[in-house]
A and B are shown apart, each in its own frame.
Chain A
Amino acid sequence: MEKSELRVRVPAGTTLLEAARAEGYPIGTDCGGFGKCRRCRSLLLAPGRRGEAAPAPPSWLDPPTPAEQRQLSQEERDAGWRLACQVRVKGGLTAFVPFPEDRPARKSIDTQLPVRIKPWAERSTIWLRGKGEKEEGVLVERTLSALRRRRPGLRIDESLALRLPSPRQGAEGRDVPLTVTITNGCVVDLECEKSERKAYGAVIDIGTTNLCGYLIDMATGALAAESARPNTQREWGADLMTRVLAASPAERGGKDALARLSRAVRRDVDEVLTDLLRRVRAKRRHLIALIFVGNSVMHHLFLGLPVESFGFAPYAPLRKEGVAFRPAEKGIRLPPSSRAHFFPLLAGFVGADAVGVALALNLDRTKGDRAILALDLGTNVEILLGIPGESLWCASTPAGPAFEAGEIRCGMTSGPGAVCEVDVRDGEITLRTIEDAPPRGICGTGLIDAAAGLLECGVIDPTGRMRGAEELPAGTPEDIRRRIFETGGSRKFMLWGDASPLSANGVYLDQWDVRKLQAAKAAVRAGVGLLLAEAGLGWGDVGDVCLAGAFGTSLRPEKILRIGLIPEKPPEHIRSVGNAAASGARLALLSRTELKRAGEIQERVQYVELAGRPEFEKAFIEAIPFPA
């Protein structure tokens, strides 16, 4: 069976999407199964041999829903295309699914960032000379007093007494090893043995779509393992606002709405941790410290705090300060001795991940004479600005899902076969796809590249309009001309393959895709402009531009300049910084001072609220056209 061909039993009354999910074969969605994105489109065929399969007979299926009529053209529907989130199947058939859910993209953490290791949680072995103690616990008592002598003010966790190990009797005159875990100045764990095992810390980045975990060796700061998985909450909807709604008892959610979404993400965290520990064959007990980052909504949902306030102006979080907690209390299978911190939030839509970025890039202590601008490009774009003289500013601007190729006609996440690079040179188009697999769709970087390339060869004019073949300047190569076509009321440009709906393998750019990209880049550009103005700076005062996040990693500076995502700048000043949120969290895992700094960043940052600012509209509209 081919990978994208799917055979599942679909119980009566369930959609294909639900059935596939239940069978552990998730189909990709952008809109969370609400019939709004078309990513779940699937070709339903009556069983037959490959190549001769016919569209499934209508009697086996419910008629297309209004959502399907909107999202799929008549040609596509005639050929047997349906939306998996809508269609309920009655008979046995084969579904060809062009976009199964992709593996979460790898986001690289920077473990080279310099840090003086001074952890707030450490595990070390000490040796005590046995005095032939007979009584249980005496040795432990002695250990604790010895420790206290060495470190005045050291506290003992109350729950430790309940969990004290029974020591092997300290033989007279022999040295006995004891391994102590001290977290935040408090003894939280004691093992009556010498531990060969390392102590680990973990950075957990909870994203709306995926979770990433990084296991860090607490002694060296090295990366020991990494793991990622999709966020189960996506079943309640793809974007944050749908999640907010789903977790609000008064709205869609029902009484235990919040609890259900909390439980889902906590279970995901637990699985990521289990996987990380399995990879290095470590025990749960050896994971002594964790730092969590994520956007504000994920922060609240994970901690179990109500999220209604994010849904309505002024879109504020219930709680902004950093939170220290025991993972065990959040249903994570770790011993009570493991301790965790969730980074503070900067605003409703500038979350704990932004604090990580600021730490990693030292934005609160920007040196030199020019400011540093950091952009975390996603559905919601966090903008951070570090100005020399220790001033730090932030804002959030909503780009919509275009940068992740969401709601783009042939859009897909950056899985195998996603067109990720497009170059147009001398009228010749070259594509590169992820893993060099045959093109299946286009991802965010591909979208930006395609727009940049088509602007360059005149297929897209500076207003963003796609020109018809006959309007193209004389001398435009025939190969470019013949790729322009029109169906379903809008112009399109074929990047690869042919446009036959049954073939499912044409990858094209639609006029509306260009419009969505324009809205996204205008939101960023307007947000950056307003933030700079508020901070009293101009574009000339900005030195480096750092692009954070999985998406930022693969962007090419010339391309983002070509579409005007940011104003002119020498490309060498634009750099990718990977998963800077996690890189910053790692620093705080390894150093008390850095953890404290996370709190200071929250206290000091100046947040610029874009909502309710009349200048935004003007800046946004002015930023919609492309640079000529």
Chain B
Amino acid sequence: MPRDQELAQGIIRGDRESVVRLTREELDAGREAVGILNEGLIPGMDVLGERFARGEAFIPELMAAAKAMNAAMEILRPLLEASGVESLGKVVMGTVKGDMHDIGKNLVCMMLRGAGFEVIDLGVNAGAERFIQAIEESGARLLGMSALLTTTMSRMGGIIEEIRKSRAGAGVRIAVGGAPLDLAYANKIGADGYAKDATVAVECFKGLVAALRTP
């Protein structure tokens, strides 16, 4: 359907206005929200995500696309919920204590929201207590943690341990990310997932959701 391609193109170009307009027009024409999402918006995001992974698109393009996606989701979310499509899950996300970097984490949050997750963003400088409190309050079973400094990265393991020891934190699936990390390090500190960039992060959290469902 050419409209889907237009939607996808809108996402790829990060053209929020046209994405919102097209979404509205499709809904007015009687299209179901799920269809718009799965056949128009998500394929667009996939294309851009793939370009991002190869370095062909970069932070501004991904940011613009995520914003366009989120704007469309604002419109679609109530309809999706009404038709029984659940959110993919709640994610508590934050940059660890001692670290003030959040551009990457914000991008991950936007991408997760765009993909249908509900995100509780703790901002920067978050210690174990704040993570635990947020899990308690929200009942989230997914958690993401970001660190951009070698120093703060070295304390992530301790924070994960504390979260896991807490009552609310037991069984929560934790993904970590940030430039100095890699998969080996994530495994070493006992994280359940790791992603090198924001598009892989979405896949990573989807994987964790699946893992939660099949204990």
Do A and B share a complex?
A: yes
- Contacts A241-B150, A242-B150; A624 near B54 (Cβ below 8 A): no
Q: Is A624 touching B58 in the complex (CB atoms < 8 A)?
A: yes
Nearest chain B residue, comparing its CB with the CB of A467:
B56
Interface residues on B, range: 20 to 34
Once bound together, how far apart are the Cα atoms of A360 and B151, in whole Å? Answer: 34
Asked if B124 lies at the interface with its beta carbon under 8 angstroms from chain A, I say: yes
Which of A21-29, A172-180, A362-370, A511-519 forms contacts with chain B? A511-519
**Interface 1/0 per residue, A293-336 and B, CB below 8 Å:** 00000000000000000111100000000000000000000000
Q: Is B60 touching A624 in the complex (CB atoms < 8 A)?
A: yes
Q: Is A312 touching B151 in the complex (CB atoms < 8 A)?
A: yes
- Contacts A612-B100, A621-B63, A625-B60; A311 near B149 (Cβ below 8 A): yes
**How distant is A515 from chain B, measured CB to nearest CB, in Å?**
5
Q: Is B55 touching A515 in the complex (CB atoms < 8 A)?
A: yes
Nearest chain B residue, comparing its CB with the CB of A610:
B100
Asked if A544 lies at the interface with its beta carbon under 8 angstroms from chain B, I say: no
Asked if B83 lies at the interface with its beta carbon under 8 angstroms from chain A, I say: no
Q: Is A515 touching B58 in the complex (CB atoms < 8 A)?
A: yes
Asked if A118 lies at the interface with its beta carbon under 8 angstroms from chain B, I say: no
Q: Is B149 touching A489 in the complex (CB atoms < 8 A)?
A: no
**How distant is B96 from chain A, measured CB to nearest CB, in Å?**
10
Q: Is B58 touching A313 in the complex (CB atoms < 8 A)?
A: no
Q: Is B151 touching A490 in the complex (CB atoms < 8 A)?
A: no
Partner of B106, one of A237, A511, A617: A617
Nearest chain B residue, comparing its CB with the CB of A620:
B103
**Interface 1/0 per residue, B101-130 and A, CB below 8 Å:** 011001000000000000000001100000
Q: Which residues of B contact A611 (CB under 8 A)?
A: 100
**Interface 1/0 per residue, A491-507 and B, CB below 8 Å:** 10000000000000000
**How distant is B122 from chain A, measured CB to nearest CB, in Å?**
14
Q: Is A511 touching B54 in the complex (CB atoms < 8 A)?
A: yes
**How distant is B166 from chain A, measured CB to nearest CB, in Å?**
22
Q: Is A311 touching B57 in the complex (CB atoms < 8 A)?
A: no
Asked if A483 lies at the interface with its beta carbon under 8 angstroms from chain B, I say: no
Within 8 A of B (CB), among A116-159: none
Within 8 A of A (CB), among B132-169: 149-152, 154
Asked if A600 lies at the interface with its beta carbon under 8 angstroms from chain B, I say: no
Nearest chain A residue, comparing its CB with the CB of B103:
A617
Q: Is B154 touching A252 in the complex (CB atoms < 8 A)?
A: yes
Asked if A465 lies at the interface with its beta carbon under 8 angstroms from chain B, I say: yes
Once bound together, how far apart are the Cα atoms of A617 and B97, in whole Å? Answer: 19
Q: Is B151 touching A621 in the complex (CB atoms < 8 A)?
A: no
Q: Which residues of A contact B61 (CB under 8 A)?
A: 463
Q: Is A312 touching B154 in the complex (CB atoms < 8 A)?
A: no
Asked if A464 lies at the interface with its beta carbon under 8 angstroms from chain B, I say: yes
Q: Which residues of B contact A491 (CB under 8 A)?
A: 54-56
Within 8 A of B (CB), among A545-573: none
Asked if A256 lies at the interface with its beta carbon under 8 angstroms from chain B, I say: no
Asked if A66 lies at the interface with its beta carbon under 8 angstroms from chain B, I say: yes
Q: Is A313 touching B100 in the complex (CB atoms < 8 A)?
A: yes
Once bound together, how far apart are the Cα atoms of A252 and B53, in whole Å? Answer: 32
**Interface 1/0 per residue, B154-193 and A, CB below 8 Å:** 1000000000000000000000000000111000000000
Once bound together, how far apart are the Cα atoms of A490 and B50, in whole Å? Answer: 12
Once bound together, how far apart are the Cα atoms of A234 and B99, in whole Å? Answer: 24
Once bound together, how far apart are the Cα atoms of A465 and B62, in whole Å? Answer: 13
Q: Which residues of B contact A621 (CB under 8 A)?
A: 59-60, 63, 103
Q: Is B151 touching A311 in the complex (CB atoms < 8 A)?
A: yes
**How distant is B93 from chain A, measured CB to nearest CB, in Å?**
16
Asked if A75 lies at the interface with its beta carbon under 8 angstroms from chain B, I say: no
Partner of A512, one of B55, B103, B125, B154: B55
**Interface 1/0 per residue, A376-417 and B, CB below 8 Å:** 000000000000000000000000000000000000000000
**How distant is B63 from chain A, measured CB to nearest CB, in Å?**
6
- Contacts A241-B149, A245-B150, A251-B154; A511 near B103 (Cβ below 8 A): no
Q: Is B54 touching A617 in the complex (CB atoms < 8 A)?
A: no
Once bound together, how far apart are the Cα atoms of A241 and B57, in whole Å? Answer: 29
Q: Is B152 touching A312 in the complex (CB atoms < 8 A)?
A: yes
**How distant is A575 from chain B, measured CB to nearest CB, in Å?**
31
Q: Which residues of A contact B151 (CB under 8 A)?
A: 241, 244-245, 248, 251, 310-312
Q: Which residues of B contact A310 (CB under 8 A)?
A: 151
| Given A519-B59, A624-B58, 11 new contacts (CB under 8 A) | A66-B183, A311-B149, A311-B151, A312-B151, A313-B124, A465-B58, A489-B53, A489-B54, A490-B55, A620-B103, A624-B59
CB<8 Å pairs between A and B, sample of 19: A66-B184, A237-B150, A239-B150, A242-B150, A244-B151, A248-B151, A252-B154, A311-B149, A311-B150, A312-B99, A312-B152, A463-B60, A490-B54, A490-B55, A510-B55, A511-B54, A611-B100, A620-B103, A621-B63
